[in-house]
Amino acid sequence: MNRALIILYVILCFELGLFLFVWPWTAYWTGNYFVGRYPLISGIAGNYFVRGAISGIGLADIWLAFYELWRMRRRLGAERKEEELGIRN
């Protein structure tokens, strides 16, 4: 069950990160209801620094997904070594 939850977490982080990395640079970012309705949000959403910050959060999520996948792979390798050597906790 633990492996399944880690895999779901990795998939969620990767998809969310990919979404946050790409979405600020599409037409949907500036063409939604809130941007058209409120001028303050329009100014913030059109700012390239804000778009870059949101994309940066997306990259951090993608990095987190790969890091968790690497940790899981390393942990599974250590468990296999313990099984081969006959070591039990």
pLDDT at 65: 95
Its sign, for the CA torsion 68, 7, 4, 83, is negative
pLDDT per position as a tens digit, 43-73:
999 999 999 999 999 999 999 999 999 998 8
**Which string of DSSP letters, residue by residue, matches 25-60?**
GSHHHHSSHHHHH-HHHHHHHH-HHHHHHHHHHHHH
Asked whether residue 89 carries a pLDDT value surpassing 60, the answer given is: no
pLDDT at 26: 94
pLDDT per position as a tens digit, 10-44:
999 999 999 999 999 999 998 889 888 999 999 99
Q: Cβ-count burial of 18 within 10 angstroms (0-12 exposed, 13-18 middle, 19+ buried)?
A: middle
**Rounded distance, CA 69 to CA 56, Å?**
20
DSSP state of 23: G
